[in-house]
Structure 1
């Protein structure tokens, strides 16, 4: 008894001291324990994902890769593998595993090393959320208390689901959903047993056990996992043997991008960062949906890329990127032979025999990869074809159709002679780019010219497509939203709108004659000229806009007043500070972004309402619940009843009437303002009248078509005539724009439901777009009529040639399935027959007359006298313009 009592007392005191120590430790680490609120509302740091309006992934932003999964979405095999390997008694303990702790303690006593951590899944989760990986006793004690605390507040299922989504698994993958994507490019439910075992073994040491960084160690770890599953009878021996012997199939995968639209994604990302801040935007798990659909966004990107290549090819081939063999010698001191910048020396490889396919591909892998261009090396040159080896290891033949454009580039204004053989274009050993166009491979190059494109829904300002340049990976500068460039004649519809607002009509006669204004203050005469420098004398306003007469625009500005016009332009959303207070504003000397221009054009398209462009339609949280939805202002011309649409041709010749026959006298079905959804719409400010918008749109319809009758000598072309000729639609309107010396070129236009602007120019504002001469090779392919939209366009670059094709190609796709829907005629618009030359009323019904629209009360009141009538058909044939061939 004398030994028992001291032993009991010692045990009691030891227990008391132990309890006191535990209580002391608890209070010591209590400030580090998570609150109940944190544990019950754990928020995973999930990257932001951006989607098109139709739900296709555009991009993902965030350092951590995480794809949250629900427990019921996780394959049972993965749960079995994790439990067998990491915590086989997970559903039996309360956060700590006494057996595991005793095993770790024994190991520590016997070896003196911390070989076993005895961490349960709950403890690992506690460490992942709140602690570090440092191996210290105090961290382990904190881990235990936090794990016990978590088990009190969360169910086992909640803890397991958090573990599956939180744990770090290497290569910035957090959670098993992300690991499946990063290593195998698949969702969890598509993984094989071998792949499941591989990622289940990663939590122990993800940086060294992952199958990309350490494939051999990964195989060993996979075998351990499979053995544990076999011991726990989760798998059979046959399954073990098959999975253990499976090859390593992992390779690094990016996010499953379905639509590569980086300019759109970057714009939306910047908006989210501005609203939420960078850290919250990148880790808050936001799912952001654009206003643009995948179909229209891709159509815009293809149109811009093709258009810039077309311009580039018109102006000639600048040669290869460098040479691997057959390196030419300089023929002059000014000529520089291009050299490749590589991370390794190739100076000892001077002939074809020194190069095998592997070493060639190694070089090509260092050449910048810019879609749609593919780095290649010319391996064979025949009479009119070449063979190339591309970076993807494929050998391709480029036929003459893919080479014949490549005459030598001399300057932006001069090209060399047309090539006759493949050796005139390139030689063996040359490192080149190739690209695929309409199933045909062709030699190519990175265009130096830049472009931009943006399309809006004119009813609510939703951006339907945005392209900021040739390639975001080449230049992140978004020219559609950031580049302020002179707009040229794209300003004229707004100037003409100001004139209509001041009492002018589409039939007003303006003198198209040269202006020579002396400025006594500067001692310089201002002589604005038409382009081309042709003058028609007295001309109707409709025709003047259609032919983009510069001097008429200046005279209209003078008629309205400079300050009045400048103030009026702000109605279309243009910043007053960007509008110069001199007469050059009527010719487009002000600088605006394509986004600003397309917003202004939308006012004309939607009946006079100023909408706000926006890129985001809605934002969801990480659980898919809607956080925010766009509530834009709406053009309300459809909220009110409109008159029946009766769109008649300007001229009454049979060919135009035939095109329009299907559209005449048809009813326009308009949505009403009823219903809860419509009642909640915010109406945009109406900045011009519906009648004004309609009349300007009518003039812009003239600008995109051929007008009049050739046989009657009333024929003339709008500057954008190719648009209607190719699209074969009468419900479109547009305007070209070209600045002095063709430094900036534009094409803006619209359908009732879609408005778009295209811009082409060099980033160097002093560089002119130049001139292209005829390439007879391309003419020979179709001697009767060559392709207007491709490389055969010749002459000085302007809005119709340089920017117009991008707009047309986009609209070909966008309007493909849309029925012809002309703009409805607003109330108080009347149509009367007028004399073609004087704009006065007429009782004639022949080719000297036409129908014109007027705001009621502004139509002519006097009739033309017989001696005033000018019959173009009786004029000298030599004075009539030769028709431009139309295809």
Structure 2
């Protein structure tokens, strides 16, 4: 028994000793673990601190956050402030929070962050929950981002799903909350979120989906848009109506559960069928859809060189242009219906404002802008330059030249359309009927250098003006735009305008960056301008352009057709408007079927101008300035004397004091009075006209009925009251090289434009 007691006591002592020893071991282990844990925690804390420091250093500072500006849309307006197009990388237009429907504000908060006005930018519990899920999935999988965090990501971060990005997001969210108020943050968020189909921000989204401003959104529309934020493509009402409806109901249920709407509001939101706009592609592109030739003209020639890609595509500029969108659309409609390629330019001749500019049938098919880049032969549309030179040099519309065959020493033999020659004709008759031989003779009389000088002064800037007599027949290579400037000089009483397409450019805050107005130069005398225009009115009254006459309006203009019917033109105008229409193939092949300017260009010109006069408030007649120095005279088209009762009459402007005072002796007037008339028309012989040509083709004597087209009857010039003036050859009045090809001087080929266009896009970093 004693032994047992002793053994039990010893066992107890051993047990206590053993327990004490175990406790010491445990305490020692625990101490080591605690030390290791403390060291690990310290290391982790240091690591986290260093991690946060490194991340923070790579993030925007408070100053940089305040200076950040989101990408904004540049809007191009027409002259009446209608939107022409939008230029953007992100289709965004900024709106104030108070301009957003209260339904939309509630919907976005319910869908994305109902505690937005309560937290400080992050929600630790949500972040912890998301972090645990991410750790178990070895990567970022869970959301949990507040509206402020989403804003931080939208403004400064990528959308990659990593823990590092989420840490940056949280840090930036805290910084944003210190800098901005909650309302400011919500406004920024609503203006930066992507809502699908190219719409950035609530303004673009509400207009793209429903065609209304954000302030007009209904509860149904608000729920649809708010539901898009989580996954714009998945919940798109265009792509997946069922998913969109389910997401809309979820948002409405959240609003109801939060007691932000009534059950009646909820039922309305679920039941109501949204009226979606017909979807149109909206993407980051050079243009959206409207006026591409005009927009490309101002973009590459004005906006991008001056402001750069960043400002134009992200800076929210407001560009106020000169075009009238209704006229532009009409011009595009007409050109698109042409059988061949072509262009139309409409100009205000008094200011130089471009009212419409179309450079081809389909911009997507061809970027070649034929209005500004196609250097083409104008043919007879260039003849007014030759006639204006003659009028400036003292000749009159009633003076005569010979319409007779021409043969130059080098073999050049310019002829008339149809191969007919009418002998002695008045200048106004020759221009109205577009007689080639008279234009060549007139250029030889003027001197080619003077014709070139006239062309330069009135606005033709092309480097491709041949300095030989072929220039009289329009062998220069010119663009429709510069032809519109030249004809504007005649319309504007001798004052040349500089064409321009931008009236003003404003910044996103309304500050004016540039303003443009008319730039006008006195190019030729008012007398030369109005007398030339008066001759061109005859073209539209009874000449080759008679079908262009706009009823009720003084109309002037000139047709143009080149060799082999390759190019067809009509250039002209009415008071306050000049329009040039060009028709031709890019490869210079014939239009076919002897297609003239009268056939191909005049109908387009007439329809456009007839539409324009209904849209624009234009005067019906030209007002002559007090210093015009002209008088209106009713003369015989054939002889230039005052019209008798039997004359084919025309009303023409002549320099004051230089009009004939006797009546046409061929149609009933007095021969003796005509011979005594100091201002009687005179026959001007070109240097190439020899005595035989003069004798054979001059106007017949009064003893016979005039028959200028009869080339076989010998003329009796002694009986005519028309005096004859022989001119001398000039240094530059030379014939062109026979069979020369003017198109070898053409620098702009349509097939090269696509490559050049892509080069411009890369130059301005619009594409990579």
TM-score, normalized by the shorter chain, greater than 0.5 = yes
| SS of residue paired to 2:409 | strand
Task: Tell me the residue number matched to 1:462.
Answer: 353
Change in 2 beyond 3 A, CA 1:481/1:109: closer
1:451 to 342, 345, 348: 342
Quote the Cα distance in structure 1 between the aligned partners of 2:55 and 2:328: 55
Task: Tell me, in whole angstroms, the C-alpha distance in 1 between the residues paired with 2:700 and 2:403.
Answer: 19
Name the counterpart of 2:322. Answer: 291
Residue of structure 1 equivalent to 2:752: none
1:721 aligns with 2:752: no
- Equivalent position SS for 1:539: strand
Indicate how the Cα distance of structure 1 residues 179 and 873 shifts in structure 2: closer, same or farther if over 3 A, else same: farther
Q: Distance in 2 between matches of 1:744 and 1:539?
A: 27
1:802 aligned onto 2:600 = yes
Q: 1:700 & 1:736 partners in 2: Cα distance?
A: 10
**In angstroms, what is the RMSD of aligned CA positions?**
3.8
Higher mean C-alpha displacement, 738-747 vs 49-58: 49-58
- How far does residue 697 in structure 1 lie from its aligned partner after superposition? 0.6
Match of 2:515 in 1: 629
> In 1, Cα distance between the equivalents of 2:193 and 2:260?
23
CA distance in 2, matches of 1:487, 1:170: 49
Higher alpha-carbon Rg: 2
Whole-Å Cα distance in 2 between the matches of residues 819 and 259 of structure 1? 33
- What SS class does the counterpart of residue 208 from structure 1 fall into? coil
After superposition, give the CA deviation of every residue in 1:708-740 in whole Å (9 maximum; x if it has no partner): xxxxxxxxx31112233xx22352211111112
Post-superposition offset of 1:509? 1.8
Q: How does 1:558-569 map to 2 (within 5 A)?
A: 558-569=444-455
Asked if the contact 1:831–1:851 (Cα under 8 Å) also holds between the matched residues in 2, the reply is no
1:751-790 equivalences under 5 Å are 751-770=574-593
Gap regions ≥5 residues in structure 2: 1-26, 676-698, 711-768
Show the counterpart of 1:370. none
Q: Which moved more, 1:198-207 or 1:754-763?
A: 198-207
User: How far off its partner does 1:213 sit?
Assistant: 4.3
Residue among 576, 580, 583 paired with 2:469: 583
Q: Secondary structure of 2:346's match?
A: strand
**Structure 1 residues 471 and 112: alpha-carbon distance in aligned structure 2, compared to 1, 3 A threshold:** closer
CA shift, 1:458, in A, is 0.9
1:573, CA displacement in angstroms? 2.5
Paired with 1:282 and 1:603, the residues of 2 have a C-alpha distance of 37
Distance in 2 (CA, whole Å) between partners of 1:8 and 1:34 is: 39
Partner residue, 1:42: 68
Distance across 2 between alignment mates of 1:799 and 1:221: 61
What is the Cα deviation at residue 516 of structure 1? 1.8
Post-superposition Cα deviations, 1:774-833, rounded to whole Å, max 9, x if no partner, equal: xxxxxxxxxxxxxxxxxxxxxx42112221111111121222453422231552624386
- Size of the aligned set, in residue pairs, is 644
Who is 1:686 aligned against?
522
CA distance in 2, matches of 1:550, 1:303: 30
Which one of the candidate residues 267, 284, 289 is aligned to 2:297?
A: 267
Partner of 2:434: 548
Instruction: Assess, with a 3 A threshold, how the Cα gap between structure 1 residues 876 and 159 changes in structure 2: closer, same or farther.
Output: same
Query: Measured at CA, do residues 11 and 615 of structure 1 come closer, stay the same or move farther in structure 2, by a change above 3 Å?
Result: same
The equivalent residue for 2:375 is: 484
With the length of structure 1 as denominator, give the TM-score of the two structures: 0.66
Preserved contact between residue 349 and residue 488 of structure 2 (Cα < 8 Å): yes
Task: Give CA deviations for 1:558-578 in whole Å, capped at 9, x if unaligned.
Answer: 111122322332212323630
Matches for 1:825-840 after TM superposition, within 5 Å: 825-827=625-627, 829-831=629-631, 836=636
Aligned with 2:486 (options 589, 600, 612): 600
For residue 540 of structure 2, give the secondary structure of its aligned residue in structure 1: coil
Separation in 2, partners of 1:752, 1:255: 41
Provide the secondary structure at the position in 2 that maps to 1:592: coil
Question: CA 1:689 to 1:876, structure 2 compared with 1: closer, same or farther past 3 Å?
Answer: closer
> What displacement does 1:622 show?
3.6
SS of equivalent residue, structure 2 residue 418: coil
Query: More helix by proportion, 1 or 2?
Result: 2
Q: Which residue of 1 aligns with 2:689?
A: none
1:108-141 Cα shifts (integer Å, max 9, x gaps)? 6899885544322111111111112233332222
Quote the offset at 1:850 in angstroms: 7.4
Residues 16, 627 of structure 1: CA spacing in aligned structure 2 closer, same or farther, 3 A cutoff? farther
Q: Describe how 1:606-755 pairs up with structure 2 within 5 A.
A: 606-633=492-519, 684-705=520-541, 717-724=542-549, 727-729=550-552, 731-755=554-578
Runs of at least 5 residues in structure 1 that lack an aligned partner in the other structure: 309-446, 520-524, 634-683, 706-716, 771-795, 882-887
Structure 2 contact 576–619 (Cα < 8 Å) conserved = no
1:104 to 1:835, Cα distance in 2 relative to 1, 3 A: closer
Question: How do 1:179-218 and structure 2 match up within 5 A?
Answer: 179-218=205-244
Give the Å deviation of 1:159. Answer: 1.0
Residue 167 (str. 1) matches residue 227 (str. 2): no
**CA distance in structure 1 between the partners assigned to 2:208 and 2:557 by the alignment:** 47
Q: 1:861 to 1:237 in 2, by over 3 A?
A: closer
CA distance in 2, matches of 1:170, 1:589: 54
Matched, 1:471 2:365: no
Against the structure 1 CA distance between its residues 155 and 531, is the aligned structure 2 distance closer, same or farther, given a 3 Å change threshold?
Answer: same
Q: Using the alignment, how far apart are the partners of 2:408 and 2:41 within structure 1?
A: 107
2:118 to 83, 86, 92: 92
Equivalent pair of 1:567/1:576 in contact (CA under 8 Å): no
838-847 vs 482-491, which deviates more?
838-847
Q: Cα gap change, 1:480/1:277 in structure 2, threshold over 3 Å: closer, same or farther? A: same
| Cα separation, 2, equivalents of 1:231 and 1:456 | 62
- Contact persistence 1:65–1:174 (CA under 8 A): yes
CA distance in 1, matches of 2:424, 2:708: 16
The equivalent position to 2:671 in structure 1, one of 853, 866, 879, is 866
For residue 502 of structure 1, the aligned residue among 393, 397, 401 is: 393
Q: How does 1:130-169 map to 2 (within 5 A)?
A: 130-169=156-195
Where do 1:506-545 residues align within 5 Å?
A: 506-519=397-410, 525-545=411-431
Tell me how far apart the structure 2 counterparts of residues 258 and 804 of structure 1 sit (CA, whole Å): 31
Per-residue deviation, residues 193-235 of structure 1 (Å, max 9, x unmatched): 3332232123333343433444444444333322221121112
For 2:701 and 2:325, the matched residues in 1 are separated by 50
Question: TM-score, normalized by length of structure 2?
Answer: 0.75
Cα 1:567/1:8, change in 2 over 3 Å: same
Q: Check the 8 A contact 1:165/1:174 in 2, yes or no.
A: yes
